[in-house]
Amino acid sequence: MPQALAQKVLLIGWDAADWKIATPLMDQGLMPTLDDFVDHGVMGNLATLRPVLSPMLWNSIATGMRADKHGIHGFTEPDTQTGGIRPVSSTSRKVKAIWNILTQRGYKTHVLGWFAGHPAEPVNGISVSDLYPYATQPLDKPWPLPPGAVHPEKMRDTFADLRMHPAELTEAAILPWIPRAAEIDQEKDKGLASFAKILAENLCIHNAATWILQNQPWDFVAVYYNGIDHFCHGFMHFHPPRMEGVPEDKFEIYKDVVNNAYRFHDMMLHTLLDLAGPETTVILCSDHGFHSDHLRPRGIPREPAGPAVQHRQFGIIAMRGEHLKQDERIYGATLLDITPTILTLFGLPVGEDMDGRVLVQAFEEPPSIERIPSWEQVPGECGMHPADLRMDPAAAQAVLQQFVALGYIQKPNENQEKAVATAVREANYNLARVYLDSRRPKEALPLLEDLAKNSDEARFRQHLAQCYYMLGERAEAKRVLEDLIANPPKPPEPEKPQTDGAALTPEDQNVEEQSQPAGPPAQVAEAPAGESIEQEPPGAAASPRPWADWLMGVIHFEEGDTEEALACLLRAEQADPRLPNLHLRIGETYLRRRQLDDAERAFRRALDIDGDSPEAHLGLAQVNLRKRHNEDAAEEALLAVGLQHFLPLGHYALGVALARLGHPHRATLAFETSVSMLPGLVNAHRWLAALESRPGGDLEKAASHRKLAADLLKRRREQLAGIAAN
């Protein structure tokens, strides 16, 4: 068995934390703990999964598996005992979480507040469920812990005393966040109550975590804070710069709440690190980011889980500890990689059925990685509940009310049969999106066909069109899109957005049609067939026409009809010019038509909208290669792969630029990186064959790459011949 590389591991989850907000605060000296943490460890973006829904994502973090394996497919599920619905819970998860595996191996393990963590699991340590901090009664009435909120039961009273009620927050706690709190009319503006609730709940979790670190032996602690996500859903529309429609006086009252949420988490991090001690390896992560700039949506889709449109595709990861690099960035991490990395830190094998990988780039020396087929096949007590354990009805109702308040589910239908049908529909929809996100459109197809057959909602038909597109069934995709254009569903009447400036609680935000439909990512040059769709179609309240024109343009582009593709894409642009991926598609269409100046303008327009777009920098690299501006091409390609390391065409473009600039060794490394990510990249194999044929090169490698290129071309011709024959 490999040697353990960590004495203890502390896993800290900050829901929705984003470097876009944290980095400027660190630069200003306002998050000193996190700044010092990354200076002595590694940091990077953490790519999320789709759909971007927290119960699914946090359980992927805890298991290293996608939702189709771990079994949590949304916020609710049918309750076979009552005939109604219930919130997803710790018994919904079908596989072992990292704390179950460590319990099985005898490690002293504690877990606090994890999403879908109720009832608390009987691990080898203390488990505090996500229902623990909810204040269900006014301060002057008893608010006992719900059954199952704490394991072991003998610790129940201890942890009940550690809670804080929102009404206990004094001016001293509120004014540093909202200095002008006294100006708020609390009869009309519920922002202060929302703020107090979020702050108190996170203080409860923090009190429980610090008590455990001070008073209990431990090998592993996992603690989850929902604060950043909830503060952002409630107050991001007041975050600078001021959004259109937000009154200046209200903006001045609430403008610092989001930044102060980050600073508050920095203070809590300081306490955790101090209590954990220098011998502890610490991993800080988030499940996704949160739009905080001009990409903030102007409204929320009127559909289940609509607030997720505010989430950004990159969260954060930072790690510090013995055997880890210091003051370095890591690239290509996903939230599926957290559990395999923790197992390796403890010297334990990684399950081959886990979808993630070990973050070897974070280690000073590549760690030894052992594998087993599956931890699910390892017998022994692991601290999981039986699947049929019933959640306390009052606790279940409290969770459902919380989900409704956050806007993630609609108020359950009083008709139990209809409520169950809705829960099943949403679970199947989310599962189909998991399959699409993981490039398994065949598994998604029957689910989406059934959803589209039984409902007129645009989102089902939009994803069905995506699915056909990914399967290469362009005619079917066109049929669905044409029907969507000819027979659009009647959108629900949008409510007017609240513009009096009162702080919106999350449930208040579900008020206006989403204004930012999204679509397929740019696929430039030799992108593989069946590339996943990186962004979602618009919400139910938005017109499906621009998105349909978008995907229709993509299909025409891939069929070689660039004139019709451009016509479709320009129609979509006229409908909504703010979409970054739209301009990427326009740019690559111009690129194929050799209209290089038009292509450059489109890619720069994409960067004006989203300066962190690796695909836009890649597009500019390709334009500059065509213009023989090789230094500019190399610079743009480096920016592209710096933003997204797993970008094979970015490494390919960098290789071409470096080769032309007379740097054959660096070019070889770039081409080798590109084919390691995308083995079917024919031109990269050709370049490698040419570079290895130079004096001092490896002639055996040159011959190998030459043969690979020839074989790939032959296979491509055979595939095209087969398509033509059919």
Tell me: the pLDDT tens digits for 137-177? 888 898 899 999 999 999 999 999 999 999 999 999 999 99
Instruction: Using alpha carbons, select from 391, 402, 329, 389 the residue that is nearest to residue 359.
Output: 329
pLDDT at 511: 28
Q: Structure tokens of 710?
A: 């020839």
* Average pLDDT over every residue of 309-331: 95
- Distance between CA atoms of 328 and 382, rounded to whole angstroms? 36
- Distance between CA atoms of 401 and 144, rounded to whole angstroms? 18
Give, for 77, the enclosing helix (H) or strand (E).
strand 76-78
Residue 85 has pLDDT above 90, yes or no: no
Residue 509 has pLDDT above 90, yes or no: no
Q: CA 123 → CA 152, 291, 347, 384, distances in Å? A: 9, 36, 20, 7
User: In this structure, what are the phi and psi dihedrals at residue 171, rounded to the nearest 5 degrees?
Assistant: -55, -35
pLDDT at 517: 30
Q: CA 683 → CA 277, 325, 679, 688, 691, distances in Å? A: 51, 35, 11, 9, 12
Q: Are 389 and 103 in contact (CB under 8 A)?
A: no
Q: How confident is the model at residue 391 (pLDDT cuts 50, 70, 90)?
A: confident
pLDDT at 195: 95
Residue 508 has pLDDT above 60, yes or no: no
- Distance between CA atoms of 677 and 698, rounded to whole angstroms? 22
pLDDT at 523: 29
* Average pLDDT over every residue of 223-237: 96
Tell whether omega for the bond before 494 is within 30 degrees of 0, i.e. cis.
no
Q: How confident is the model at residue 483 (pLDDT cuts 50, 70, 90)?
A: very high
pLDDT at 690: 96
Q: Beta 42-47 vs 76-78: how paired, if at all?
A: unpaired
Burial class of 662 by CB neighbour count within 10 A (0 to 12, 13 to 18, 19+): exposed
Residue 533 has pLDDT above 50, yes or no: no
Written as one letter, the residue type at 76 is: T
pLDDT at 530: 30
Q: Structure tokens of 286?
A: 């988030």
- Distance between CA atoms of 321 and 312, rounded to whole angstroms? 28
User: In this structure, what are the phi and psi dihedrals at residue 700, rounded to the nearest 5 degrees?
Assistant: -65, -40
DSSP 212: H
- Distance between CA atoms of 690 and 188, rounded to whole angstroms? 72
- Distance between CA atoms of 610 and 614, rounded to whole angstroms? 10
- If one counts every other C-beta atom within 10 angstroms of the C-beta of residue 434, the result is 23
Buried b (16+ CB within 10 A) or exposed e, 236-258: bbbbeeeeeebeeebbebbbbbb
Residue 520 has pLDDT above 70, yes or no: no
Q: Beta 333-334 vs 42-47: how paired, if at all?
A: parallel
Q: Are 576 and 515 in contact (CB under 8 A)?
A: yes
Buried b (16+ CB within 10 A) or exposed e, 169-191: beeeebeebbeebeebeeeebbb
Residue scoring higher pLDDT (50 or 724): 50
pLDDT at 724: 64
Q: Are 245 and 135 in contact (CB under 8 A)?
A: no
Q: Are 617 and 494 in contact (CB under 8 A)?
A: no
Q: Are 482 and 516 in contact (CB under 8 A)?
A: no
User: In this structure, what are the phi and psi dihedrals at residue 492, rounded to the nearest 5 degrees?
Assistant: -65, 150
pLDDT at 407: 67
At a CB cut-off of 8 Å and minimum separation 6, what does 470 contact? Answer: 436, 439, 441, 530, 531, 532, 533
Residue 346 has pLDDT above 50, yes or no: yes
- Distance between CA atoms of 163 and 268, rounded to whole angstroms? 16
Residue 400 has pLDDT above 80, yes or no: no
Domains of the chain: 8-402 (3.40.720.10)
Residue 562 has pLDDT above 70, yes or no: yes
Q: Beta 280-285 vs 8-14: how paired, if at all?
A: parallel
Tell whether omega for the bond before 695 is within 30 degrees of 0, i.e. cis.
no
| Numbers of helices and strands, H then E, in the chain | 27, 16
* Average pLDDT over every residue of 55-73: 97
Q: DSSP 3-state helix, strand, coil percentages of the chain (rounded to 5)?
A: 50, 10, 40
User: In this structure, what are the phi and psi dihedrals at residue 368, rounded to the nearest 5 degrees?
Assistant: -80, 125
- Distance between CA atoms of 155 and 159, rounded to whole angstroms? 6
- If one counts every other C-beta atom within 10 angstroms of the C-beta of residue 29, the result is 8
pLDDT at 302: 79
Q: What percent of the chain has pLDDT over 70?
A: 92
Dump pLDDT digits (tens) for 15-25: 999 999 999 99
* Average pLDDT over every residue of 716-720: 79
Residue 493 has pLDDT above 70, yes or no: no
Instruction: Using alpha carbons, select from 255, 272, 135, 289 the residue that is nearest to residue 197.
Output: 135
pLDDT at 269: 98
Q: Are 193 and 167 in contact (CB under 8 A)?
A: no
Q: Cα–chain-centroid distance for residue 167?
A: 33
Residue 621 has pLDDT above 50, yes or no: yes
Q: How confident is the model at residue 534 (pLDDT cuts 50, 70, 90)?
A: very low
Residue 664 has pLDDT above 90, yes or no: yes
Dump pLDDT digits (tens) for 247-286: 999 999 999 999 999 999 999 999 999 999 999 999 999 9
At a CB cut-off of 8 Å and minimum separation 6, what does 75 contact? Answer: 53, 55, 87, 88, 305, 403, 408, 409, 426
Question: Is the dihedral angle over the CA atoms 116, 120, 122, 127 positive or is it negative?
Answer: positive
Q: What percent of the chain has pLDDT over 90?
A: 73
Dump pLDDT digits (tens) for 451-481: 999 998 999 999 999 999 999 999 999 999 9
* Average pLDDT over every residue of 504-518: 33
Residue 654 has pLDDT above 70, yes or no: yes
* Average pLDDT over every residue of 47-55: 94
Q: Are 251 and 313 in contact (CB under 8 A)?
A: no
pLDDT at 150: 97
pLDDT at 502: 43
Lowest mean pLDDT among 38-52, 71-85, 352-366: 71-85
Q: Average per-residue pLDDT in the chain?
A: 89
pTM: 0.87
CA atoms within 13 A on the CB side of 95: 25
